[in-house]
Every structure is written in C-alpha cells, then in structure tokens.
C-alpha cells in the first residue's frame, strides 16, 4: 500500500508545482477508502461525493450504450477524477468498478469552498484536471454519437438495399426460367402462316398498348369484372391459359376492343399461340421493368449516400438546395419512418434560393433533429412528422415538427446542454442537440424549440448567404 505524503503527491504530474502545505491540507481533509477488486466505487446516476485521487490499484470507468459496455478510461495511481471545482455535474454519467484492489483519497464537496478561497495552486491543479477531462470526454462522446448515428443509418440503409437487391435476384431467376419456356412457344409461332402486314398490325398493337402513358385505375369490382370478360372472350376462342393471359392483359391495360382488333388479323386456328406469344412478351416486360425499378432504387440510395457524405469532400461553404440535403437525410432514415409507422408531410417552399452552407454539416443537423423526432414518436407506435421550409426575410427557416408526447417545460432550457439527454441510458449521449446548436451558430443562425403535449417543433433559422 502506498504511504501518502505531501512529498509523494508533489511527485504526481497533476499536483506538480502545488506547495507542500496545500498538499498536506488535501491529505488531512480527505476521506480514505480501501477498495477490493470487483467493488463499485459508484454507478451511473449516483451522486458524486467529491474529488478523488487514486493512490494504489486501478479503477475502470465505463458506460452503457445500446446495451453494450463502452470503456471510458482506466484510472491508475496518481489519476484524479470525480467532482472537481466549478464542475456542474452532480450525478455520475459513468460507472466506476475496481479492477485491481487499492486505496483512494476523496476530498468531500463540503471542503471545496475552503479550498477555493485559501489554496489557489491546489484549486488550479484540480481545475486543470477538469478541463482536460471535459475535452477528452467530449471527444469520446462525440465519436460515440457519430458511431451510434452511423449504426442507425447503416441498419436502415442495409434494409433499404436488401429489398431491391432481393427483387433483382428473384426477377433474374424468374426471367431465366421464363426464357427457357420460350422455345416451345416459338415452335407454335413458327407454324402460323400470316401476311406480313397482319404481323405488323399485331406487333404494332402490342407495343401501342405497352406505350400508353397511363394504365387505368380500377376498383377491385371493376378489375374483377373486366378480367372475367377478357377470360370469357379468350375461352370462347379456345385460347389456352386464358386465366393467366386475361390477368396480364388487364394489368397492361388491354381492353375488349384491343382483343377484337387483334383477332381481325389472325387466323382463328392461330389465336391461341398468338395470344400466348403476347402473354410471354408481357411477362418478360414485367420482369424487366421490375429489375429496372429495383436497380434504379439501388442507384438512388447510392446517390443519396454519396450526397449525404458530402462532408468527406473537405469543401468549404457552397451554394446548395436546402431541400436536397433534407431529402437525402429522409432517404437514409426511410427505414425508421416505415418501422415507426410515421406519416411524412413535406411542406417545402420550392421557390427558396440556394443557400450558402457547409452541406455535410447541415446533414448532421437534419439527421439529429429527424432522428430525435422519430425517437419521440416511437413509443406510440405511429406518428406524424412534418418538415416545413420557408423564407424569413433574408433567412431560411426549417421546422421539424412531431406529434410525440412533447418535452416537459421544466427541462426545455436544458436540452441543448452538452451530455443532457431525456433518453434511456445507452440510447443517447446528450450531444445531438449540442452538435445541432454549434453547427447552426457556425452559420450565424439560431435554433429554438416550441413544445407542448402532442406537438414539438424545432425551428432552425439561418441566413441565405451564410
């Protein structure tokens, strides 16, 4: 066990330069604790009793995030932590577990006033510890906050990419299997004897229907009625697979009149192979369109990611459409919108001019505000998210509004403070809104909150010209 003397304390880097009489006062006014391996000195949420100095052994500081243990640091002999002069923290935001038996000196908070008024050097040494701790802890928390945000975005992005990717795989396999059936149908087609002009009419009719700009929107009853009529017509003319063909013909907007027009140019004995050939083309068309749409969705997601990560380009402020960043953020968070059963309302003023801003930085603003709104509505299992943009003289005003439970009035003044969070332990670091505030201030803007039960609005306002 380390024998604690004023001389030993003066050899510690933290206490270097502090007069020996002040160090002796520190020793005389401290409470001495012996801790065994496995003991907790304190846990998250406990009231911090004062400043403590490790004289022997080791203590591990950690926190829970997303149900995982995140190590903050390991305190060794000579390290100082706990509540320090002028610190506003009262509750511990980490847990301290002894990983190597040892001893601790604890200076109770009741002694702080005397120390501050009598011992300038000792107070200055402890304040220096506090500033270093805040800087290091803030850096760690900001990194964790970014990783948590990245985790949410990557999970949503993986889900969004999985759907179109799976559709492409399914569509490709179905298309391959379908094309293997074509040779049999081809034999029937080759056996047909038709004039060239009739072939042109039939082919022209097929592509004319496919090229129609809008397919009719039918009610379930209307659809059933029309499909039955097409099937009956096909069956009356001995067309094989009449049920499947009727469904596909209706899907692409074929009408009873289209079938009659085609029939006029086809020998009666050849109606079945011709309509099965048309059906084969429609099936192929649908599969190709499905693959095309899925591919476009993946392309759009990749483009959104590229635009969202604009911050990696290392550029300064530039003119940008504010709606582009908001829409890219919504694309990245689309999975959370669907999962939370959230209705999105966009009230965008599309006449707004481009704004001068750090694009990537503002993407962090939209991500934090929208993510917080989704968290607020999560418990209800549904919600309504409104994003409104408008001009306010020479500035742009963006409002993110949710219909969650609201923020209690007594804590509204604290929500922008670093490390303050209303979320459960492990779900938030308390830095999201602090980051929002710093970025908005960097753009000479402001961010305000208006909250009552059933409506919370975060309003960001910043100059158009940065």
CATH number for 70: 2.60.120.10
| Domain final residue pick, 245, 262, 295 | 295
| Same domain, yes or no: 331 and 284 | no
pLDDT at 158: 66
Q: Are 297 and 166 in contact (CB under 8 A)?
A: no
| Same domain, yes or no: 347 and 253 | no
Whether 439 maps to a domain, the answer reads yes
pLDDT at 344: 93
| Same domain, yes or no: 190 and 256 | yes
Domain that holds residue 78: 6-118
Locate 457 and state its tokens. 């609005």
pLDDT at 139: 53
| Same domain, yes or no: 406 and 324 | yes
- Measured in residues, the chain has a length of 466
How many structural domains compose the chain? 3
DSSP state of 216: P
Whether 12 maps to a domain, the answer reads yes
| Domain final residue pick, 84, 118, 152 | 118
| Same domain, yes or no: 101 and 212 | no
DSSP state of 217: P
| Same domain, yes or no: 196 and 71 | no
| Same domain, yes or no: 207 and 344 | no
Whether 214 maps to a domain, the answer reads yes
Whether 237 maps to a domain, the answer reads yes
Instruction: Give the pLDDT means over successive 10-residue stretches in the chain (466 positions).
Output: 83 88 92 90 87 90 73 83 76 86 91 90 82 58 56 63 74 70 57 70 76 73 85 86 85 81 79 81 79 75 62 64 87 82 92 85 84 87 92 92 88 67 47 76 87 92 85
Locate 281 and state its tokens. 């083309």
| Same domain, yes or no: 235 and 182 | yes
| Same domain, yes or no: 343 and 446 | yes
For residues 60 and 73, what is the distance between their CA atoms, to the nearest angstrom?
A: 6
| Same domain, yes or no: 114 and 207 | no
Tell me which residue of 279, 271, 276, 261 sits closest to 192, measured CA to CA: 271
């Amino acid at each position: 066990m380390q024998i604690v003397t004023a001389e030993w304390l003066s050899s510690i880097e933290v206490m270097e330069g502090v007069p020996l009489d002040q160090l002796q006062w520190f020793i005389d006014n401290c409470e001495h604790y012996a801790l065994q391996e496995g003991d907790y000195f304190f846990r998250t949420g406990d009231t911090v009793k004062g400043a403590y100095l490790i004289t022997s052994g080791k203590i591990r500081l950690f926190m829970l995030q997303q149900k995982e243990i995140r190590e903050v640091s390991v305190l060794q002999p000579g390290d100082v932590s706990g509540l320090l002069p002028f610190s506003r923290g009262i509750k511990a935001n980490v847990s301290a577990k002894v990983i190597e038996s040892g001893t601790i000196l604890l200076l109770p908070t009741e002694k702080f006033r005397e120390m501050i008024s009598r011992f300038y050097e000792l107070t200055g040494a402890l304040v220096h510890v506090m500033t270093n701790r805040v800087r290091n802890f803030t850096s760690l928390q900001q990194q964790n906050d970014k990783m948590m945000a990245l985790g949410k975005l990557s999970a949503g992005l993986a889900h969004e990419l999985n759907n179109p990717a799976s559709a492409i795989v399914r569509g490709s396999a179905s298309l391959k299997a379908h094309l293997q059936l074509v040779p049999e149908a081809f034999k029937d087609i080759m056996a047909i004897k038709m004039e060239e002009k009739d072939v042109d009419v039939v082919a022209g009719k097929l592509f004319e229907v496919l090229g129609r700009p809008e397919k009719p929107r039918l009610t379930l009853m209307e659809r059933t009625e029309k499909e039955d009529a097409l099937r009956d017509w096909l069956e009356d003319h001995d067309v094989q697979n009449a049920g499947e063909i009727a469904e596909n013909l209706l899907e692409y907007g074929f009408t009873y009149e289209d079938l009659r027009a085609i029939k006029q140019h086809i020998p009666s004995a050849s109606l079945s192979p011709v309509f099965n050939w048309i059906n084969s083309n429609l099936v192929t068309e649908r599969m190709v369109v499905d693959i095309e749409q899925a591919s476009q969705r993946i392309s759009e997601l990749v483009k959104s990611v590229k635009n969202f990560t604009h911050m990696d380009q290392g550029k300064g402020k530039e003119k940008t459409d504010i709606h582009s960043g908001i829409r890219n953020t919504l694309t990245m968070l689309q999975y959370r919108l669907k999962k939370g059963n959230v209705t999105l309302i966009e009230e965008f003023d599309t006449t707004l001019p481009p704004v001068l801003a750090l694009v990537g930085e503002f993407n962090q603003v939209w991500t934090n505000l929208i993510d917080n709104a989704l968290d607020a509505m999560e418990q209800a299992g549904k919600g309504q998210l409104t994003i409104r943009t408008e001009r306010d003289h020479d500035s742009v005003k963006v409002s993110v509004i949710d219909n969650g439970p609201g923020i209690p009035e007594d804590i509204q003044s604290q929500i922008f403070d670093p490390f303050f969070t209303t979320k459960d332990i492990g779900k938030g670091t308390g830095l999201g809104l602090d980051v929002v505030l710093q970025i908005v201030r960097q753009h000479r803007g402001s961010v305000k909150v208006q909250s009552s039960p059933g409506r919370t609005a975060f309003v960001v306002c910043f100059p158009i010209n940065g």
